[in-house]
């Protein structure tokens, strides 16, 4: 069945006829001639860049001799030196911001002169202003949003053109937390026929889903930019993951001059393969429009067939199956790569989270890159997509409140239109810890924002991450407009939420904020501590800016990891939780003052090395066998050391020191770990987990001798020569027997030859002031990281690591096409 919808706004302006032609399923497929269709060009290469004010970049007379040549995505902040004096402050990563200009010249083929040409930016941080051939296109203040401009009227076809982009991130602080600066996401040039599918012009939903069949509702907006009537054919093809057509619809349409129409088509899919977090099966819908059989335009829309709902008593259901949301909040930076988007870096992050058992991500607190959502679709994450961290009332001086009135509707709609087809997206969040919770203005703003969301998409619940859990005091809640109540922290109150907010649906939108430094154990376990609110206070008596990696310290508003998970696990009405955070992120180094400059909240450090608590989640959130013991085994003789083990799929764990049993322990009640108090002696500490008397796993940690050698462990052995692919190489400092030296801090120098270059180094230490862009890094607690990117040469990459007093080592990385 085919439905037609008229675009209501345009209807007011122009009257047009739509002629309908129905094609039954049995009708013979007609041959469509190949036309060129939509041309989408990656526009990332060969920009010129200069820091500072350079308005002359708009003009052809500019002398670019001393401008830097680079490819975007680019983040100039991450290239800078750390300083407490930078206006970003440690909360923003203590890296420089300021103003920068980009300019790029490019040819547009003569053959495009009857096309509509657009430039699309996935994200520019921030206040981008853009000129094409000296003509001003506009300003987009919000740094996290995707946008496009039409270039057609200003282009010189068959000639050289120049685009200039001013980026102004100088007003600080303007976002919580590190933002990066520059054209930090992808840029594309899009050339469409002047009769084309609109920008973000398709929408798909699955109103009925069962094992046997699914209904797919699809809508497309088509624009006729010509001043004459056009007869076209529209064809939509549903394709499965192997490329096989499983359904298709065609229709003839007539578009009035300069008109736009919305066309709907429904499909029924028999025996659909459902999208789930374990098996994220993706179909796609290929939309093409033709004129006289010549392809005018075409786009592909992802289609995940799934159904989900939140229940006030039972939580969350995906495809009818009760599913606890085991989520993490992620901030957008990629550690040593800064904000600059790279799909391989995102993939590495998501793989680590998947391995831990994470099934959901909250994009905190702003719209992510499109690639992040594409990967979430492909890898099977449930996403909470979030628009804002503030509304009209700010938290910091220069944040979104300064542009709220003019931009909130446009920016919110841009997020909704861009992201509405991702099957992974299952919640729209209109804001995080919004100040308007606390006064009556919250009521009408919430109503208005929810109405905007519903005007674009009614298939997903609208939520907001709230802090105030007393109904009378929370004006966002009092709007009555939210479908799902997200509560941040205060896990002690979760049990009582159904009494306070009868018949509502709940999720812990943010929780824990546990503080840890990977590999540091500078405080005995068992001492549960909240970080005291006084800023800068060193809570563990050390001045080395590390926090014990035992799960015992958290922000005073948070909890340990174990505390919140135990609560959420047992309460059915809590749909799940999003832990703050999956990874450490740049900025917000509380409670430590500078030189601390990145956060301590991650389950994984900034370099991508799991902290011990990663394995607590893995033991709870996956079905695979887990046994993890810590800390390391290098202490002073006679010291008493608490040894913890996370395990699952077993009844007990037995610990042995140098072959001597230290006893068998089992988790009791809702325990999530077992622990022994051990008098230290050097040697080896072995744990064995057993189920019904059978060994499940064995783990041994050994006392390391002096550092003697370097080990390089790449996350893959080959990379593409596309100047984009990355290999993340873990650098371990080992003793001569190959045991990790757990306190090693040797400076490691890297050399790379052939088809690769070094694009980042890190060691996960939150207070290191070494540059992320150097060719050397000190190890921290025995480890550091070097990131190699292909440079376009098809030559074997050789990476060598040297360090004074240690045996150097090399690895090869193959380059493939």
Whole-number Å distance between alpha carbons of 737 and 60:
63
The least CB distance from residue 600 to ligand GAL, in Å, is 10
Rank residues 549 and 733 by Cβ distance to ligand GAL and give the closer one: 549
Whole-number Å distance between alpha carbons of 674 and 653:
8
Whole-number Å distance between alpha carbons of 790 and 796:
10
The least CB distance from residue 734 to ligand GAL, in Å, is 35
Of the residues 91, 250, 433, 563, only one is catalytic, namely 433
What is the per-residue binding string for ligand GAL in 532-551, x denoting contact by CB under 6 A? --------------------
Rank residues 323 and 488 by Cβ distance to ligand GAL and give the closer one: 488
On whether the CB atoms of residues 256 and 14 are closer than 8 A, the answer is yes
Give the side-chain half-sphere CA count within 13 A for 71. 14
The least CB distance from residue 173 to ligand GAL, in Å, is 13
Rank residues 255 and 555 by Cβ distance to ligand GAL and give the closer one: 555
On whether the CB atoms of residues 101 and 49 are closer than 8 A, the answer is yes
User: Is 679 an active-site residue?
Assistant: no
- Chosen residue from 77, 206, 513, 790 binding ligand GAL by CB under 6 A: 513
What is the per-residue binding string for ligand GAL in 604-633, x denoting contact by CB under 6 A? ------------------------------
The Cα-based distances of 437 to 179, 391, 475 in angstroms read: 25, 11, 5
> What three-state secondary structure class fits 153?
helix
Whole-number Å distance between alpha carbons of 295 and 58:
36
Backbone phi and psi for residue 270, each to the nearest 5 degrees, phi listed first: -85, 150
Give the side-chain half-sphere CA count within 13 A for 761. 23
Give the side-chain half-sphere CA count within 13 A for 188. 14
Whole-number Å distance between alpha carbons of 547 and 526:
14
The least CB distance from residue 325 to ligand GAL, in Å, is 18
H or E, element range at 620: helix 613-621
Rank residues 225 and 581 by Cβ distance to ligand GAL and give the closer one: 581
Rank residues 259 and 584 by Cβ distance to ligand GAL and give the closer one: 584
The residues that bridge with 464 in the sheet, in sequence order, are 485
* Binding residues with ligand GAL: total (CB under 6 A): 10
Rank residues 259 and 433 by Cβ distance to ligand GAL and give the closer one: 433
The least CB distance from residue 365 to ligand GAL, in Å, is 6
Rank residues 558 and 707 by Cβ distance to ligand GAL and give the closer one: 558
The Cα-based distances of 595 to 198, 474, 543, 760 in angstroms read: 49, 37, 11, 20
Backbone phi and psi for residue 565, each to the nearest 5 degrees, phi listed first: -65, -40
CB count, 10 Å around CB of 159? Answer: 11
The least CB distance from residue 489 to ligand GAL, in Å, is 7
Rank residues 224 and 513 by Cβ distance to ligand GAL and give the closer one: 513
- Chosen residue from 118, 178, 475, 580 binding ligand GAL by CB under 6 A: 580
Q: Does 129 bind ligand GAL (CB under 6 A)?
A: no
Quote the distance between the C-alpha of residue 350 and its chain's center: 8
| Polymer length in residues for the chain | 817
| Six token digits for residue 403 | 């542009």
Whole-number Å distance between alpha carbons of 474 and 438:
6
Rank residues 399 and 762 by Cβ distance to ligand GAL and give the closer one: 399
Q: Does 588 bind ligand GAL (CB under 6 A)?
A: yes
Q: Does 561 bind ligand GAL (CB under 6 A)?
A: no
Site residues (CB under 6 A) for ligand GAL, limited to 329-348: none
Whole-number Å distance between alpha carbons of 623 and 653:
17
CB count, 10 Å around CB of 637? Answer: 8
Q: Does 91 bind ligand GAL (CB under 6 A)?
A: no
The least CB distance from residue 594 to ligand GAL, in Å, is 18
Of the residues 510, 562, 620, 654, only one is catalytic, namely 510
Q: Does 702 bind ligand GAL (CB under 6 A)?
A: no
On whether the CB atoms of residues 144 and 123 are closer than 8 A, the answer is yes
The least CB distance from residue 490 to ligand GAL, in Å, is 11
What is the per-residue binding string for ligand GAL in 450-489, x denoting contact by CB under 6 A? --------------------------------------x-
Whole-number Å distance between alpha carbons of 49 and 75:
11
Cα–Cα–Cα angle for 81, 86, 90, nearest 5°? 85
| Nearest residue to ligand GAL, by Cβ distance, number only | 513
- Beta strands 640-647 and 627-630 are antiparallel
Rank residues 490 and 690 by Cβ distance to ligand GAL and give the closer one: 490
Rank residues 203 and 488 by Cβ distance to ligand GAL and give the closer one: 488
What is the per-residue binding string for ligand GAL in 387-426, x denoting contact by CB under 6 A? ----------------------------------------
- Phi-psi region for residue 39, left (φ > 0), alpha (ψ -120 to 50) or beta? beta
The least CB distance from residue 605 to ligand GAL, in Å, is 16
The least CB distance from residue 143 to ligand GAL, in Å, is 16
Name the one residue in this structure whose structure tokens are 């699914």: 214
Whole-number Å distance between alpha carbons of 411 and 146:
9
Contacts of 671 (CB under 8 A, 6+ apart): none
What is the per-residue binding string for ligand GAL in 427-446, x denoting contact by CB under 6 A? -----xx-------------
- Chosen residue from 191, 555, 575, 761 binding ligand GAL by CB under 6 A: 555
> What three-state secondary structure class fits 433?
coil
Rank residues 474 and 488 by Cβ distance to ligand GAL and give the closer one: 488
User: Is 510 an active-site residue?
Assistant: yes
The least CB distance from residue 514 to ligand GAL, in Å, is 9
Q: What is the DSSP letter of 610?
A: B
Rank residues 164 and 555 by Cβ distance to ligand GAL and give the closer one: 555
- Chosen residue from 510, 551, 620, 762 binding ligand GAL by CB under 6 A: 510
- What DSSP letter does each residue of 567-579 carry, written as one string? HHHH-TTEEEEEE
> Virtual CA dihedral for 544, 545, 548, 554, nearest 10 degrees?
150
Cα–Cα nearest to 96, from 115, 76, 126, 113: 76
- Chosen residue from 140, 176, 306, 362 binding ligand GAL by CB under 6 A: 176
The least CB distance from residue 176 to ligand GAL, in Å, is 5
The least CB distance from residue 804 to ligand GAL, in Å, is 39
Name the one residue in this structure whose structure tokens are 């890296």: 95
**What is the 3-class SS of 48-83, one letter each residue?**
EEEECCCHHHHCCCCCCCCCEEECCCCCCHHHCCCC
On whether the CB atoms of residues 421 and 372 are closer than 8 A, the answer is no
Q: Does 563 bind ligand GAL (CB under 6 A)?
A: no
The residues annotated as belonging to the active site are 433, 510
Q: Which residues bind ligand GAL (CB under 6 A)?
A: 176, 432-433, 488, 510, 513, 555, 558, 580, 588
């Amino acid at each position: 069945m085919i439905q037609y919808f008229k675009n209501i706004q345009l209807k007011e302006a122009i009257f047009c006829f739509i002629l309908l032609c129905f094609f039954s399923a049995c009708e013979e497929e007609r041959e469509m001639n190949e036309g060129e269709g939509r041309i989408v060009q990656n526009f990332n290469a060969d920009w010129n860049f200069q820091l500072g004010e350079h308005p002359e970049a708009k003009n052809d007379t500019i002398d670019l001799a001393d401008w830097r040549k680079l490819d975007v995505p680019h983040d100039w902040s991450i290239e800078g030196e750390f300083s407490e004096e930078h206006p970003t402050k440690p909360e923003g990563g203590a890296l420089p911001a300021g103003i920068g200009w980009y300019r790029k010249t490019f040819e547009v083929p003569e053959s495009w002169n009857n096309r509509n040409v657009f430039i699309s930016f996935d994200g520019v941080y921030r206040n981008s202003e853009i000129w094409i051939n000296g003509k001003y296109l506009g300003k987009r203040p919000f740094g996290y949003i995707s946008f496009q401009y039409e270039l057609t009227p200003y282009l010189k076809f068959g000639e050289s053109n120049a685009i200039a982009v001013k980026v102004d991130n100088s007003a600080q602080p303007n976002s919580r937390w590190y933002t990066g600066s520059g054209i930090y996401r992808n840029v594309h040039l899009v050339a469409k026929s002047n009769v084309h599918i609109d920008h973000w012009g398709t929408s798909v939903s699955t109103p009925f889903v069962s094992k046997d069949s699914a209904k797919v509702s699809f809508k497309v907006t088509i624009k006729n930019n010509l001043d004459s009537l056009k007869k076209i054919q529209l064809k939509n093809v549903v394709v499965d993951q192997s490329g096989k057509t499983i359904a298709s619809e065609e229709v003839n349409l007539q578009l009035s001059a300069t008109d736009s129409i919305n066309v709907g088509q429904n499909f029924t899919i028999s025996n659909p393969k459902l999208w789930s977090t374990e098996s994220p099966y993706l179909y796609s819908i290929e939309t093409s429009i033709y004129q006289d059989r010549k392809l005018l335009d075409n786009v592909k829309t992802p289609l995940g067939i799934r159904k989900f709902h939140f229940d006030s008593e039972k939580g969350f259901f995906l495809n009818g199956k009760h599913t606890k949301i085991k989520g993490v909040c992620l901030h957008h930076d990629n550690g040593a790569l800064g904000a600059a988007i790279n799909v391989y870096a995102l993939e590495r992050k998501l793989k680590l989270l998947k391995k831990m058992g994470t099934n959901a991500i909250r994009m905190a607190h702003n719209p992510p890159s499109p690639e992040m959502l594409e990967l979430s679709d492909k890898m099977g994450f449930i996403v909470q997509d979030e628009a804002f961290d503030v509304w009209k009332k700010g938290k910091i001086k220069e944040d979104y409140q300064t542009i709220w009135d003019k931009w909130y509707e446009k920016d919110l709609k841009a997020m909704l239109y861009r992201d509405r087809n991702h099957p992974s997206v299952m919640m729209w969040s209109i804001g995080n810890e919004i100040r308007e919770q606390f006064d009556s203005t919250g009521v009408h703003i919430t109503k208005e924002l929810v109405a905007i969301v519903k005007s674009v998409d009614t298939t997903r619940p609208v939520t907001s991450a709230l802090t105030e859990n007393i109904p009378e005091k929370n004006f966002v809640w009092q709007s009555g407009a939210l479908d799902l109540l997200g509560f941040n922290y205060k896990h002690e109150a979760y049990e009582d939420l159904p009494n306070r907010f009868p018949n509502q649906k709940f999720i812990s939108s943010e929780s824990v904020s546990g503080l840890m430094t990977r590999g540091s154990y500078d405080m005995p376990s068992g001492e549960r501590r909240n970080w005291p609110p006084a800023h800068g206070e060193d809570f563990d008596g050390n001045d080395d800016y590390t926090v014990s990696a035992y799960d015992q310290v958290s922000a005073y508003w948070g909890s340990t990891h174990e505390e919140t998970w135990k609560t959420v696990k047992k309460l059915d009405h809590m749909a799940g939780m999003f832990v703050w955070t999956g990874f450490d992120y740049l900025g917000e180094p509380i409670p430590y003052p500078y030189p601390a400059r990145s956060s301590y909240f991650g389950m994984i450090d900034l370099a991508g090395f799991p902290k011990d608590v990663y394995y607590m989640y893995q033991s709870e959130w996956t079905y695979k066998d887990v046994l993890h013991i810590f800390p390391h085994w290098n202490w002073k003789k006679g010291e008493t050391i608490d040894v913890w083990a996370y395990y699952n799929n077993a009844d007990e764990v037995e610990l042995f020191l140098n072959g001597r049993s230290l006893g068998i322990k089992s988790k009791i009640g809702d325990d999530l770990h077992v622990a022994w108090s051990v008098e230290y002696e050097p040697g080896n500490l072995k744990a064995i987990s057993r189920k019904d008397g059978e060994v499940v796993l064995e783990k041994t940690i050994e006392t390391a001798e002096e550092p003697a050698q370097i080990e390089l462990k790449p996350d893959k052995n080959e990379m593409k020569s596309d100047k984009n692919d990355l290999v993340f190489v873990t650098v371990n400092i080992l003793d001569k027997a190959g045991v990790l030296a757990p306190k090693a801090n040797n400076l490691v120098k890297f050399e790379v030859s052939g088809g690769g270059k070094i694009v980042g180094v890190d060691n996960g230490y939150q207070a290191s002031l070494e540059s992320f862009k150097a060719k050397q890094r000190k190890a921290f607690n025995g480890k550091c990281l070097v990131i190699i990117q292909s440079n376009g040469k098809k030559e074997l990459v050789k990476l060598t690591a040297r360090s004074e007093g240690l045996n150097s080592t090399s690895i090869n990385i193959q380059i493939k096409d």
